[in-house]
A = this chain, B = another copy of it.
Amino acid sequence: MDFEEFFPIWDKLTVPQQNTLRARVISRHVTRGTIVHDGNLECTGLIIVQSGQLRAFINSEEGREITIYRLFDRDICLLSASCMMQSMQFEVIISAEKETDFWIIPPYVYKGIMEESAPVANYTNELMASHFSDVMWLMEQIMWKSLDKRVAAFLLEEMTIEDTNQLKITHETIANHLGSHREVITRMLRYFQNEGIVRLSRGTITVLNPKKLSELESA
């Protein structure tokens, strides 16, 4: 698969811009667990996912984490190039949740094109608006939704992503997605188990009653 097919506004670039991108884009393959971008240390550039799954998150000084968004095939991440913009004053960390192939457009290559091209700048606006909307959605969840609903929503999302009701995921990982503590998640999952919604076993959460989970989420 060609990079050009994954870059949504390829045909709005000039020929010199296309040539620059072709010459400068970097292809990478990472295994599960790799830190792809550590906002505090580096300015990676735009990430374009060919295939796999990435996770963008922030963390606290105490090491708690919360997932901001996830990236799947064809998704593009702008926040890994946040150094391009003066006003972007926060950093995310991006890690691979699965084996992932992706491209990186170096930040100063992209910035150069963006500054001269209205279509690229407008496209970048849409990318940022999309990340921004994810974060606002998350904020509303955190502010107005109780944790049981958020855990229910997370399990349903995982079932969709993995296409199975047997989720190989630790309580610690769920806590890190939701910005919570492992103990709190364990307590919640035990409550779900008592209600007959899930069955817990070592390293696996089996969803027995997706309908009830879904009712709980939207209650």
Contact = CB atoms under 8 A, between A and B. Distances in A.
Interface string A66-87: 1000000000000000100111
A114 B117 CA distance: 11
A126 B86 contact: yes
B85 A129 contact: yes
B121 A58 contact: no
Chain multiplicity (copies): 2
Interface in A92-116: 114-116
A11 interface: no
Contact of A115 (B61, B114, B118): B118
A90 B137 contact: yes
Nearest to A118: B118
Interface stretch (A17-25, A139-147, A163-171, A191-199): A139-147
Nearest to A143: B179
Nearest to A86: B126
